[in-house]
Structure 1
Amino acid sequence: MSTGHVLLGLLVERPKHGYELKKEHDHRLPGSRPLAYGQVYATLQRLERDGWAEVAETLQEGGPERTVYAITDEGKAELDGWLERLEPPAPHVASPLFARVVVATLAGGGADGYLLRQRAAHLARMRELTLRKADGTPAQVLAADYALQHLDADLRWIETAIARLADLKEEIDA
């Protein structure tokens, strides 16, 4: 995910200050890792440096001074281009789940126990997400659907891995 592009997308509605952008990011992208304030402000500085955002005004409303940023025409063109580009499918397996199973088999221990525990954890998380969908906002429901699909894919892989490891064990024992 490009944090800069997401912030530009949030600025399309109207100019906003960093605190507001952080809150909107965390609210509108439920399930995503929350942004740190430092990351928001560093990203806004890069967007300004690149000419994609500009300071619209500075507010002083009884608290700390707030710099309000607006998207520029160049920023809107960049955002439009980013939205048109396809996200390439991941070329590599970069899952901690996969890595643990491989290392468990290499280390001489069986991965079966781990896989069974992981399956139980995935099923528990799927139940939790399904319950959340009942009263969630549209963004929360979309995030839950996305997570559920990924968990389902992991569960199918876990079942395949259990079967393949059993076949491999039979082969070695024969």
Structure 2
Amino acid sequence: MALVVLTKNNFLRLALHSVYDELNLREDTCVIDTESFNALIDILYEIYSRDLVSCRRILLVGDDIGSKILFPLNVISLDSPLTVLKNQMHTGYRLKAVLERIYECRRLVALTDSERLFAQYYSSRNSIKNIARRIGLSEKTVYQQTASAAAKLNLRSGKEFLLFLDREFSNNLGR
């Protein structure tokens, strides 16, 4: 297997193969470009459909919402110096750790019950106004909850949290 690069960016694929060869690495490694995937579920699909369970190390690169959510796994920014990438190529994470983090994020385990309930309603294509009415809170409180939930997932704003919910749990992105 050697090196598998899951990306739509051909330049990144070539660069990663070059670095891998230059470092003379021999362990099976998979590099996942989070920006090439619309949602975490898409990453899971690629891992299982390509049968990457034998990979010894997984590296994550990217600068998008997915990379922010997976941040505890030291996602390498595409703006990072090459030395950072080279250092990470020697370590990486076990597939189990990556899968656990993705499943945690998709189950929204870091959120309160109230925040998860909001996410469920929002993912069912309800507007913020309808959700607020349904759970008996003001719209302002609901927006504050989205900001709080965003922070727990390492996102910068409630808007990023809503985008994450759209991408991860909705079939239609247009509301």
TM-score (norm 2): 0.22
The structure with the largest alpha-carbon Rg is 1
